[in-house]
Structure 1
Amino acid sequence: MARVMVLVGRDRYGDPWHDHAATSDAVAVLLRDDGHDVTVRSVFPDALDDVGRPDLLVVNCGQGPLDTADADAWRGFHDRRAALVDDGVAVLGLHQAANTFGDDPRWAATLGGRWDDDVSWHPPLGAARFRVVDATHPVTDGLDDVDAVDERYADLRVADDAHVLLVADVSDDDGATRAHPVVWAAAGPGRVLYDALGHDVRSYASPSRRALLRREVAWLLDA
């Protein structure tokens, strides 16, 4: 049994397009069913003050500010989060995690990529397929492509050393179809993985999406 902390987006790190509470609950239910000790906590400046050292930190937060307003009030939170990463705590960023904590550049460096408002986008939410491109990694070895009602993120800024596992095939305005990384492992002191799926609870209703999440967690925990 692993100790898992799920951080839920709200207010400063929330947005009107995502029900982070509902999707975090879906993740927590799945992980508890697998026997893990899961704590779900909304993000506040003191949210990490008393967590000790979890085995896995799951970040399911929304669009965060790029400016420095109220930065002093949140500096301690970001320092504690960064300290957990430096200590080798495994990290899983879900969906909007690529667009959160924009006031702390250490987060994008941890995640191995980010959403860029100038170039990143997605087609309308709907039935989507996410294609495995590395069938040898422990997360994807033996995993079929993932089908879910979800968003297909496109043109994320992805670090050169990120290890891409799944892509979304998305057609541009000119009709050309390109493969866009949506799940990758990032370099770090501990294991770090970003998974762009999870817009709402319909994503977690998909058996193949749940299988992907379970594999991700198993790898992150080295189980």
Structure 2
Amino acid sequence: MAPVTDAALVLVGQGRYADPWHDVAATSHALAALLADVGLPVDVRGTRPDALGGLDAPGLLVVVAGDGRRDAEFDGDDDAWRGFHDRRADWVAEGVPVLAVHQSAMAFRDDPRWAREVGGRWVEDRSWHPPLGPAVLRVAGDPHPVTAGLGPLAVVDERYADLEVDPGVRPLVLADVTADEASDRPVSAGAHPVVWVAPGPGRVLYDALGHDVRSFESPDHRALLTAAIGWLLAL
């Protein structure tokens, strides 16, 4: 197993893993501040083919990336990114804990291992969300250390729905979508998992919340993330 540092590595989407809908500079800054608040050193890096070269495995891998500009002349073709993905996948296989946030369900489409690692993905022409706005989310019924003691979560955010979710994940937080919200789409109303624990091999948590900084200003979301970080690091 590769040497492990105590630091959290925050991978921020740029180039092929950026998108026009999310201010990743602001949201990654908010996450880095929260990680520092719980006492973790933080290393923030943009996604580049050589971003992971020479790094020891982090104590926690945090991904804030999406699906953006695919341009081989700009930041390389799929072959140029293979080393990046192989190193990331090796870390996950070795048990490095992972926190993947919001649009990260759309990230790394050129490496199918990522969707398996995080337990799901956004599917074009199927996945969607009601308009951004205030929402109250439900904690799933089965007790888990991340949600122990948490009640409903009040946030200003997007409620991702109809993601492709691995049947082996453990849902922690559910978003309710009404028939009226889904009326113009061939999608399902009802409860959709928006925070879950992936099957593994290590500790991996996907949090579909975090569209913009308002989500990270929510005391309920901050409490959830603080508990998630503690669980991921087995604190």
| TM-score of Structure 1 vs Structure 2, range by shorter chain | over 0.9
Correspondence for 1:5 among 9, 14, 30 = 9
**Comparing 134-143 and 146-155, the one that deviates more:** 134-143
Counterpart mapping for 1:1-223 below 5 A: 2-64=6-68, 70-134=77-141, 136-172=143-179, 173-174=182-183, 177-223=189-235
TM-score normalised according to structure 2 size: 0.90
- 1:194 maps to a residue whose letter is Y
Structure 1 residues 141-160: Cα deviation after superposition (integer angstroms, max 9, x where no partner): 11111111100000011001
Give structure 1 regions of 4+ aligned residues with deviation exceeding 3 angstroms: 64-69, 172-177
Question: Contact 2:15/2:70 (CA < 8 Å) preserved in 1?
Answer: no
Question: Contact 1:133/1:166 (CA < 8 Å) preserved in 2?
Answer: yes
CA distance in 1, matches of 2:83, 2:177: 39
SS at structure 1 position matched to 2:175:
strand
CA displacement at 1:177 relative to structure 2 = 4.1
CA displacement at 1:118 relative to structure 2 = 2.2
- 2:10 maps to a residue whose letter is V
Structure 1 residues 64-85: Cα deviation after superposition (integer angstroms, max 9, x where no partner): 5799981011001000000100
CA distance in 1, matches of 2:83, 2:223: 35
Question: Contact 2:121/2:164 (CA < 8 Å) preserved in 1?
Answer: yes
CA displacement at 1:2 relative to structure 2 = 3.9
CA distance in 1, matches of 2:109, 2:89: 14
- 1:53 maps to a residue whose letter is A
Question: Contact 1:130/1:147 (CA < 8 Å) preserved in 2?
Answer: yes
Percent identical residues: 58
Root-mean-square deviation over aligned CA pairs: 1.9
Mark the CA change 1:42 to 1:66 in structure 2 (over 3 Å): closer, same or farther: closer
CA distance in 2, matches of 1:33, 1:2: 15
- 2:94 maps to a residue whose letter is D
CA distance in 2, matches of 1:67, 1:218: 38
CA distance in 1, matches of 2:10, 2:78: 22
CA distance in 2, matches of 1:4, 1:70: 28
Question: Contact 2:99/2:205 (CA < 8 Å) preserved in 1?
Answer: yes
- Count of paired positions: 223
Gaps of 5+ in 2: none
- 2:191 maps to a residue whose letter is A
Question: Contact 1:134/1:140 (CA < 8 Å) preserved in 2?
Answer: no
Gaps of 5+ in 1: none
